[in-house]
Amino acid sequence: MFNTIFPKIHKEGYKFLAISILITFVVLFFSKFLGSILILITVWVYYFFRDPERYSIDNDDYLVSPADGLITDVSERSGPEELRLENITFTKVSIFMNVFDCHVNRSPLGGTIEEIYYKPGKFLNASLDKASEENERNYFKIKSSQDNEEIIIVQIAGLIARRIVCDVEQGQELKQGSRVGMIRFGSRVDLYFKNKKVLAKLGQSVTAGESLIASK
């Protein structure tokens, strides 16, 4: 119960929380009204960086969601040019995370990270389709430990986001639902896959590591 109300936070949040607490205490000495507002902001900072435990289905016949948020696109698209996959057609599912969603991203299946590629870019609204090509982003190519199928996760920074955090490295083995990183302050995650039936629906709210996106 305690961990549900007060989940642990991602390591990226420690400095932001410390700064917010310090500023709040200082301002409270001068203005209770402004201090009260900063208390609410501090609470929001804590919950933005929350990193709760998630419980995956532990079955690689399924892909679980890599992010919390709202599904904004389900379509057939060419693979990312950055990973030399532009001539291959994938199913792409886009998940938009607003500033109230948990921003820790997770692996949709168990497997090995074959490639990680970071590309600097702009900070357009992450809900826009062109954000996939113009915004700051980070690519993960993961090979399934079950059938060697490859999936792609793309972390896309948003209008407010200014840093993508990667918590894994090339060659690392992942379990389904393992943490791979986070994006600070509003963003999107795209998931590319082949040869699977889409279970997720446009407009559906999903939970990272738990909600089912696709199946064999």
Q: What residues are annotated to the active site?
A: 187
Work out the number of other CB atoms within 10 angstroms of the CB of residue 73.
16
User: For residue 109, with 0-12 CB atoms within 10 Å meaning exposed, 13-18 middle and 19 or more buried, which class applies?
Assistant: buried
3-class SS letters over 189-210: EEEEECCCEECCCCCCEECCCC
Task: Give CA–CA dist 185/127, Å, rounded.
Answer: 14
Q: Radius of gyration over alpha carbons of the chain, in Å? A: 18
Are 48 and 42 in contact by the 8 Å Cβ rule? The answer is no
Token pair 């700064």: residue: 19
